[in-house]
């Protein structure tokens, strides 16, 4: 299903837009918008579909959704209600100019590196929710100041954040070396092939042992973990498509050499089996 391009109704006199909702259910269609959205779930439980990945949410959870990242929230109980506070901001226009100031450039880097969103870890929810509350209750100038403090709080969590949707080469190459960028591009274009450690190490002009150390230091992931995430991302895309036929075909088309290995890796990365993923995905879109 192609996501709807949604237009967030941001007033022209606002750089940062705060929206509080009390509804019987969330907007029910898969959609995307140019603005980043930081959403605090004050009441409600359910599931969040982001691109091709499914996440559970409950009261108190906070998510950052990236620019034009397709998503839809579905709450569990249709006879209940959901309450949320959203902070919308766009890196284009006036905010881009402000964040390019030398003193704030680290905040811009943080946003750029988290373009696929994240879920705030539970231990940090009280601190981040207080920042959102302060932002909501401030006047126009105070909101802008509070917004920067909010980003600063989120930036402190950057080492503990896991993206909401599959890995891409761009995650690790911003500001990195040409060598790691080239290697990630190669994996992005060839992950469906049977790529061995010796082959990729040779491309990097390193021994296998030196390559493993270099790749882990540069990306934060082992070579095998990175390759598996690329393959699982492709599998999720195939499982959610109209042409989905059977698990085994998806496994081989995504680059896995056996269905058993595919099921094991898929579950280890997403926490559910491919069959359960398909059921959850279709329930979110059409349930």
Cβ neighbours of residue 241 closer than 8 Å, sequence gap 6 or more: none
Above 90 in pLDDT, residue 272? no
With a CB cutoff of 8 Å and minimum separation 6, the contacts of 155 are: 106, 107, 110
Confidence of residue 285 (pLDDT cuts 50, 70, 90): low
| Number of helices and strands in the chain (H, E) | 12, 10
Closest CA to 224 of 265, 173, 190: 265
Q: Residue 65 is encoded by which pair of tokens? A: 């959704």
CATH class of 170-286: mainly alpha
Question: Given CA atoms 12, 13, 17, 22 in this order, what sign does their dihedral have?
Answer: negative
At the topology level of CATH, where does 4-160 sit? Jelly Rolls (2.60.120)
DSSP states along 3-66? PEE------TT-SEEEEEEEESS---S-EE-SSEEEEEEEE--EEEEETTEEEEE-TT-EEEE-
Whether residue 249 has pLDDT greater than 90: yes
Range(s) within the chain of domains with CATH label 2.60.120.280:
4-160
Calculate the average pLDDT of the chain: 87
In the chain, CATH 1.10.10.60 covers 170-286
Q: Give the whole-angstrom CA distance, residue 83 versus residue 191.
A: 41
Question: For 56-93, what is each residue's pLDDT tens digit?
Answer: 999 999 999 999 999 999 888 766 789 999 999 998 87
pLDDT score, position 167? 52
The b/e string for 18-41 (b: 16+ C-beta within 10 A; e otherwise) is beeeeeeebeeebebbebbbbbbb
For the segment 157-206, what is each residue's pLDDT rounded down to a tens digit? 877 788 888 654 444 444 446 688 889 889 989 999 999 999 999 988 89
Residue 153 pLDDT grade (very low, low, confident, very high; cuts 50, 70, 90)? very high
Number of Cβ within 10 Å of residue 152's Cβ equals 14
Per residue in 87-119, pLDDT (tens digit) is 999 988 788 788 888 888 889 888 888 888 999
**Percent of the chain, pLDDT > 70?**
91
- Condensed to tens digits (0 to 9), the pLDDT of residues 208-244 reads 999 999 998 888 889 999 999 899 988 988 887 766 7
* Helical residues (DSSP H) of 64-157, grouped into ranges: 94-99, 105-113, 125-136, 140-155
pLDDT in tens, 22-36: 988 888 888 999 999
């Amino acid at each position: 299903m192609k996501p709807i391009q949604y237009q967030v109704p941001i007033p022209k006199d606002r750089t940062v837009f705060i929206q509080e909702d009390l509804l019987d259910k969330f907007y029910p269609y898969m959609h995307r918008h140019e603005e980043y959205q930081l959403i605090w779930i004050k009441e409600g439980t359910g599931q969040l579909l982001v691109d091709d990945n499914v996440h559970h949410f409950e009261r108190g959870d906070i998510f950052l959704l990236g620019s034009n990242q397709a998503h839809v929230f579905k709450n569990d109980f249709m006879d209940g209600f959901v309450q949320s506070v959203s902070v919308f901001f766009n890196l284009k226009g006036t905010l881009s100019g402000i964040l390019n100031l030398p003193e704030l450039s680290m905040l811009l880097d943080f946003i750029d590196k988290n373009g696929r969103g994240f879920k705030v870890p539970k231990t940090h929810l009280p601190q981040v929710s207080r920042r959102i509350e302060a932002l909501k209750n401030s006047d126009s100038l105070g909101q802008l100041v509070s917004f920067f403090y909010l980003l600063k709080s989120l930036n402190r969590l950057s080492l503990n954040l896991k993206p909401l949707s599959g890995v891409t080469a761009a995650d690790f190459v911003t500001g990195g070396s040409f060598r790691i960028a080239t290697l990630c591009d190669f994996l992005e274009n060839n992950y469906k092939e049977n790529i061995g450690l010796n082959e990729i190490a040779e491309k990097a002009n390193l021994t296998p042992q030196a390559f493993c150390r270099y790749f882990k230091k540069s990306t934060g992931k082992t070579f095998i973990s990175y390759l598996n995430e690329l393959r699982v991302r492709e599998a999720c895309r195939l499982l959610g498509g109209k042409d989905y036929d059977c698990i085994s075909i998806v496994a081989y088309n995504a680059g896995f050499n056996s269905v058993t290995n595919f099921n094991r890796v898929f579950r280890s990365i997403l926490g559910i089996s491919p069959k359960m993923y398909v059921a959850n995905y279709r329930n979110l879109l059409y349930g």
